[in-house]
C-alpha cells in the first residue's frame, strides 16, 4: 500500500502508531536514549533516561526534556564531556552536519560516584528538519576491568623491571615480539621489537653459539647459555622457557636475560686470586699445609713441606696432622678447636719427619674458607737451631749475670744498653740508673784525652782493646779495672755494639804500688852497702901480698857484686820502661858472650833439676846484636829461668842461634804452657800462681824486648809437648860493626 492512497487521518494514525512503536522500542532498550532537535534541545527520552536521571539527578526537572544539550551536560551529568574540548568539537561537527556519527568514552558522575559511559550520537533527517539520536551505555564494569587490567599490567611491568632481569618473548622466526623496560635499558638504541634476537648481540645473520632459544624451540625444554656482547663488552646469561600453545607446540620462547659482567669479573679475579694463592702456596719458601679440622687429614702441602718432612705430596695427603705432631691426639684436637674459635694462632710443637727425626717448629695457623668449607691453613718454621741458640744464649746470659767480672754492653755511641750485677756491685750504680747513660759517667779524669782517643780508635777499627783504666764509682771513689773491650758486628759486618769485660784490680794496683815503693827503698838501701862490698876486694887486691887463689876469690866477689848492682839498676829501669821514661842507648853486644855468662851463672840452678842447656847453631864466631848488655842479660835470664822451671827434670834445653842474615834465636824446652794463659803469656801477673813464680818474669822480658825493639814470641804444641820462645834481634850494619 502506498502512503499516497491513505487519508490524512489514516496517515496521522499510522504516524502515531509508528511513534508509539518507536517509543516502545526506546523504552525497552537498556541504553539511555534521547532525541535532540536541530536547535539542540532534548525532545524525547526513553524510560532508561528517565530512571537514570530520577535516581541520580533528581533536581533536573522533567528529566531534562526541553533542556539545551550543553546546558543539560553542565548540570553535572556530563561535566567531563564539557571539559573535553576535542569531544565537544566532534559532537558539534555532528550537530552541524559535518559528520554523521560521534562516539566517546568518558566518565560521568552520579551522586559523587564515577561511572563510565559510552556516548554515541547519530544524525537523521525528518520532514521537520534534522534530528539527532544520543545514547549512553553504562560500560563501568568493562571500563573498570580494563583499568584494573592496565594497572595490573603496569604493576607487573614495574615488578619485572624491578627484578633487574631483562625479559623477551621470541617468536618462531627468532624475532623479538615483546621486551620489558629492563631489556630496553640493557640494550639501548634501535627498537628491539621486530629485530631477530641474535642481531642484538651483533651476530649478523647467524645464530649465537650454543643458542638456548633454538634448543627450546627444537626440544621443548628450558635451556641456558652465556653470551658476550662485543660492543658493550658485557657478559649476559640467557635462560629460556618454551611457551606452549593448545596443541602442545612451542608458540613462543620466553627469555630471561641477566647482566653477569660483574660476576664474570669476580670469577676472573677469583681465578687469578686462586692462581696467585696456588703459586704462593706451592712455591713459598715457608712450609705450608692445609688441614681438614674434622679429621686432621692433610688436604694439601707445598714443596717446602715435602722437602722438610721427607714425604712426597701424595704420601702426605694420605696422612693426618696426628702422624706428624708428637703431642697426644686429644691435645692436638684441643689446639685445633682454639684455632677455629680464633682464640690462638701461634703454637710451638715438635714434629717428626720421615726419618723419625724430631724438629722444634713454630706454627702459625688460622681458619680459611675454600669451596664453602672451613679448613685450617698453617705456616711452619723450623726453629730447632733457634731453640738451641736460645738455650745457649740463656746459659750465656746466666753466666754473665753470675760472673764476678763486670760486663757492659753499649751502643756505638758508648751509651749503656746492658750491665750485669757485678757492674752494679763494683760501681754502686743500679741497672736502672745506668741504662741509657754514657760510659763517661764513670770517667775519673786520671787519663789523658790521648788515652781515650787511642782506645776508641782501636775498637772502632774492629779490634779488641785491652788495658788498665781508672774509673770513678757513684760515691766518687776511684778504682782500677783490667778491661777488655771488643766490637760487635751484625751479619753484614756493620758495627752494632761494644762489649766490655772488666776486672776490679784496685787492690792489686795498691799492692803493686806498695811493692814498687818497697823495691825502690830496697834498691836504695842495698846499693850503698853493695858499693862497699864491691870496693873492699879492690882495696885488698891493691894492697897485694895475696895468693892467686885469694885474688881469684876476691875477683869473683867483685864481679858478683857488680852484677847484682846492675840487676838492681835493671829493676829500677823496668819501672822507667813501664812509665815510658827509660832512655835506651843501643850498643853492639856479642850475644854469645852474654849466653856464656848466663850459662855459668845458672849452673847451680840447672844441676838442681838435672837439666842441661845446649847451645846450637852459629856459635863458632861472634854474633853481634844491637842492645844494652845488662838489659839483654836480664831479659835472657828471665826467659832461661822460666824455661828451666817449666822443663821436666832430666831434660835438655836447647838454645839455637841463627845463621846470618837470619836474626831469630830459639829457646826450646819440653813441656807446654797452660791453655788458660797462652793468649796472655807476656802480660803482667798472668802466669802468677805457679810454684815459685811472681808473674812478672815473662812480662819484664817482653817489656825489655819492646824497649830494645826486639821481637818476642811464644809457640807451644800439645802434640810435640814442646814450647819455643823466639827472640828476634836487631843486627848492626857493617859500618856499626867496624
Q: Which residues pair with 134 in a beta bridge?
A: 34, 121
pLDDT at 72: 72
- Rounded distance, CA 114 to CA 140, Å? 8
Q: What is the mean pLDDT of residues 694-722?
A: 89
Degrees (nearest 5) of the Cα angle 224, 226, 229?
Answer: 140
DSSP string of 427-453? H---HHHHTTSBGGGGB-S-S-HHHHH
pLDDT at 44: 85
Same domain, 129 and 173: no
How many CB atoms are located within 10 Å of the residue 211 CB?
Answer: 21
Is residue 205 very low, low, confident or very high in pLDDT (cuts 50, 70, 90)?
A: very low
Does 357 or 267 have the greater pLDDT score? 357
Same domain, 288 and 383: yes
Does residue 735 come out as left (phi exceeding 0), alpha (psi in the -120 to 50 range) or beta? alpha
Same domain, 433 and 304: no
Helices (H), 163-260: 181-186, 197-200, 212-219
Query: Cβ distance 414 to 323 under 8 Å?
Result: no
Q: Backbone phi, then psi, for 616, in 5-degree steps?
A: -130, 170
Degrees (nearest 5) of the Cα angle 432, 437, 441?
Answer: 110
| Set of cell numbers at residue 308 | 722438610
Lowest mean pLDDT among 35-44, 155-164, 507-516: 155-164
Intra-chain end-to-end CA distance of the chain, in Å: 194
pLDDT at 532: 67
Same domain, 252 and 271: no
Is residue 13 in a domain?
Answer: no
Same domain, 78 and 201: no
Predicted TM-score of the model (pTM)? 0.36
Same domain, 612 and 710: yes
Which is it for the CA torsion 679, 681, 684, 689, positive or negative? Answer: positive
How many CB atoms are located within 10 Å of the residue 187 CB?
Answer: 21
- Rounded distance, CA 241 to CA 215, Å? 10
Q: What is the mean pLDDT of residues 215-222?
A: 89
- Rounded distance, CA 249 to CA 244, Å? 5
| Set of cell numbers at residue 675 | 791453655
Is residue 419 in a domain?
Answer: yes
Is residue 184 in a domain?
Answer: yes
Is residue 692 very low, low, confident or very high in pLDDT (cuts 50, 70, 90)?
A: very low
The interaxial angle of helices 697-707 and 629-646, nearest 10 deg, is 150
Same domain, 232 and 288: no
pLDDT at 716: 93
Domain count, the chain: 5
Domain boundary at 239, 259, 279, which?
A: 259
Is residue 193 in a domain?
Answer: yes
Q: What is the CATH number of the domain that holds 622?
A: 3.30.565.10
Is residue 113 in a domain?
Answer: yes
Is residue 22 in a domain?
Answer: no
SS3 at position 537: helix
Q: Which secondary structure element, helix H or strand E, spans residue 598, and what is its range?
A: helix 591-601
pLDDT digits (tens, 9 = 90+) for 268-285: 887 777 777 777 788 888
Is residue 709 very low, low, confident or very high in pLDDT (cuts 50, 70, 90)?
A: very high
pLDDT digits (tens, 9 = 90+) for 551-570: 888 777 777 777 777 767 76
Is residue 547 in a domain?
Answer: no
260 has a pLDDT exceeding 70: yes
Query: Cβ distance 130 to 38 under 8 Å?
Result: yes
pLDDT at 383: 92
| Set of cell numbers at residue 233 | 663488552
Q: What is the mean pLDDT of residues 45-49?
A: 85
Same domain, 335 and 350: yes
- Rounded distance, CA 679 to CA 484, Å? 13
Is residue 571 in a domain?
Answer: no
Does 563 or 304 have the greater pLDDT score? 304
Query: Cβ distance 396 to 415 under 8 Å?
Result: no
Does residue 72 come out as left (phi exceeding 0), alpha (psi in the -120 to 50 range) or beta? alpha
pLDDT digits (tens, 9 = 90+) for 436-494: 999 899 999 999 999 999 999 999 998 999 999 999 999 999 999 999 999 999 888 88
Same domain, 723 and 609: yes
**Which residue range(s) make up the domain with 314?**
266-387
pLDDT digits (tens, 9 = 90+) for 322-362: 999 999 999 999 999 999 998 899 999 999 999 999 999 99
Same domain, 122 and 42: yes
pLDDT digits (tens, 9 = 90+) for 418-428: 999 999 999 99
Q: What is the mean pLDDT of residues 65-71?
A: 78
- Rounded distance, CA 578 to CA 16, Å? 169
Q: What is the mean pLDDT of residues 212-234?
A: 86
Between β-strands 612-617 and 652-657, what pairing exists: parallel, antiparallel or unpaired?
parallel
SS3 at position 7: coil
The residue whose grid cell reads 662485543 is 230
Same domain, 622 and 723: yes
Domain boundary at 88, 104, 138, which?
A: 138
Same domain, 118 and 152: no
Degrees (nearest 5) of the Cα angle 712, 714, 719?
Answer: 160
Domain boundary at 115, 138, 161, which?
A: 138
Q: What is the CATH number of the domain that holds 382?
A: 3.30.450.20
Amino acid at each position: 500500500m502506498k502512503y499516497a492512497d491513505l487519508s490524512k487521518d489514516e496517515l496521522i494514525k499510522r504516524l502515531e502508531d509508528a511513534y508509539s512503536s518507536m517509543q516502545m522500542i526506546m523504552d525497552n532498550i537498556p541504553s539511555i536514549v534521547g532525541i535532540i532537535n536541530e536547535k539542540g534541545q532534548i525532545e524525547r527520552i526513553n524510560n532508561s533516561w528517565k530512571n537514570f536521571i530520577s535516581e541520580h539527578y533528581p533536581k533536573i526537572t522533567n528529566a531534562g526534556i526541553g533542556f539545551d544539550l550543553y546546558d543539560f551536560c553542565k548540570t553535572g551529568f556530563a561535566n567531563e564531556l564539557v571539559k573535553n574540548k576535542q569531544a565537544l568539537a566532534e559532537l558539534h561537527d555532528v550537530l552541524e552536519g559535518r559528520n554523521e556519527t560521534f562516539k566517546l568514552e568518558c566518565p560521568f558522575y552520579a551522586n559523587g560516584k564515577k561511572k563510565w559511559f559510552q556516548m554515541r550520537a547519530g544524525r537523521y533527517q525528518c520532514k521537520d528538519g534534522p534530528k539527532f539520536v544520543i545514547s549512553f551505555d553504562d560500560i563501568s564494569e568493562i571500563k573498570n576491568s580494563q583499568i584494573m587490567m592496565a594497572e595490573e599490567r603496569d604493576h607487573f611491568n614495574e615488578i619485572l623491571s624491578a627484578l633487574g632481569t631483562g625479559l623477551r618473548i621470541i617468536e618462531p622466526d627468532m624475532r623479538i615480539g615483546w621486551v620489558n623496560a629492563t631489556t630496553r635499558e640493557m640494550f639501548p638504541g634501535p627498537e628491539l621489537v621486530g629485530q631477530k634476537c641474535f642481531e642484538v648481540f651483533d651476530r649478523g645473520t647467524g645464530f649465537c653459539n650454543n643458542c638456548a632459544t633454538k634448543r627450546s624451540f627444537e626440544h621443548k625444554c628450558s635451556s641456558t647459555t652465556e653470551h658476550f656482547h662485543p660492543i658493550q663488552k658485557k657478559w649476559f646469561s640467557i635462560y629460556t622457557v618454551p611457551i606452549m600453545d593448545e596443541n602442545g607446540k612451542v608458540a613462543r620462547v620466553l627469555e630471561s636475560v641477566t647482566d653477569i659482567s660483574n660476576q664474570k669479573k669476580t670469577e676472573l679475579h677469583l681465578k687469578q686470586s686462586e692462581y696467585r694463592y696456588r703459586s704462593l702456596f706451592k712455591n713459598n719458601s715457608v712450609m705450608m699445609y692445609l688441614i681438614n679440622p674434622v679429621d686432621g687429614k692433610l688436604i694439601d702441602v707445598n714443596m717446602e713441606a715435602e722437602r722438610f718432612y721427607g714425604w712426597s705430596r701424595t704420601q702426605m695427603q694420605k696422612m693426618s696432622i696426628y702422624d706428624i705432631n708428637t703431642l697426644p691426639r686429644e691435645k692436638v684436637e684441643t689446639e685445633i678447636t682454639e684455632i677455629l674459635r680464633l682464640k690462638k694462632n701461634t703454637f710451638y710443637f715438635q714434629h717428626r719427619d720421615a726419618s723419625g727425626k724430631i724438629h722444634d717448629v713454630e706454627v702459625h695457623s688460622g681458619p680459611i674458607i675454600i669451596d664453602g668449607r672451613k679448613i685450617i691453613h698453617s705456616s711452619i718454621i723450623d726453629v730447632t737451631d733457634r731453640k738451641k741458640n736460645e738455650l745457649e744464649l740463656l746459659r750465656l746470659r746466666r753466666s754473665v749475670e753470675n760472673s764476678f767480672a763486670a760486663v757492659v754492653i753499649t751502643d756505638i755511641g758508648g751509651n749503656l744498653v746492658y750491665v750485669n750485677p757485678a757492674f752494679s756491685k763494683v760501681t754502686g750504680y743500679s741497672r736502672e740508673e745506668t741504662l741509657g747513660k754514657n760510659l763517661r759517667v764513670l770517667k775519673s779524669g786520671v787519663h789523658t784525652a790521648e788515652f781515650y782517643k787511642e782506645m776508641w780508635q782501636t775498637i772502632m777499627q774492629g779490634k779488641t782493646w785491652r788495658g788498665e783504666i781508672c774509673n770513678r764509682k757513684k760515691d766518687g771513689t776511684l778504682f782500677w779495672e783490667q778491661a777488655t773491650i771488643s766490637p760487635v758486628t751484625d751479619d753484614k759486618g756493620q758495627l752494632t755494639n761494644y762489649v766490655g769485660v772488666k776486672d776490679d784490680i784496685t787492690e792489686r794496683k795498691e799492692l803493686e804500688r806498695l811493692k814498687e815503693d818497697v823495691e825502690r827503698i830496697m834498691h836504695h838501701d842495698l846499693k850503698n852497702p853493695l858499693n862497699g862490698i864491691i870496693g873492699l876486694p879492690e882495696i885488698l887486691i891493691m894492697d897485694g901480698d895475696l895468693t892467686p887463689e885469694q885474688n881469684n876469690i876476691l875477683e869473683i866477689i867483685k864481679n858478683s857484686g857488680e852484677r847484682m848492682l846492675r840487676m838492681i839498676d835493671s829493676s829500677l829501669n823496668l819501672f822507667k820502661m813501664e812509665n815510658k821514661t827509660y832512655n835506651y842507648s843501643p850498643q853492639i853486644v856479642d850475644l854469645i858472650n852474654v849466653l856464656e855468662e848466663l850459662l855459668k851463672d845458672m849452673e847451680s840452678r840447672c844441676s838442681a833439676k838435672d837439666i842441661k842447656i845446649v847451645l846450637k847453631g852459629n856459635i863458632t864466631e861472634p854474633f853481634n846484636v844491637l842492645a844494652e848488655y845488662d838489659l839483654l842479660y836480664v831479659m835472657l835470664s828471665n826467659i832461661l829461668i822460666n824455661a828451666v822451671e817449666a822443663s821436666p827434670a832430666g831434660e835438655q834445653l836447647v838454645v839455637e842461634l841463627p845463621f846470618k842474615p837470619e836474626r831469630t834465636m830459639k829457646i826450646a824446652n819440653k813441656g807446654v804452657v797452660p791453655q788458660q794463659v797462652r793468649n796472655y803469656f807476656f802480660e803482667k801477673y798472668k802466669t802468677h800462681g805457679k810454684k815459685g813464680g811472681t808473674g812478672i818474669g815473662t812480662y819484664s822480658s817482653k817489656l825489655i824486648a819492646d824497649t830494645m825493639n826486639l821481637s818476642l814470641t811464644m809457640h807451644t804444641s800439645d802434640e810435640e809437648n814442646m814450647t819455643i820462645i823466639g827472640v828476634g834481634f836487631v843486627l848492626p850494619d857493617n859500618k856499626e860493626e867496624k
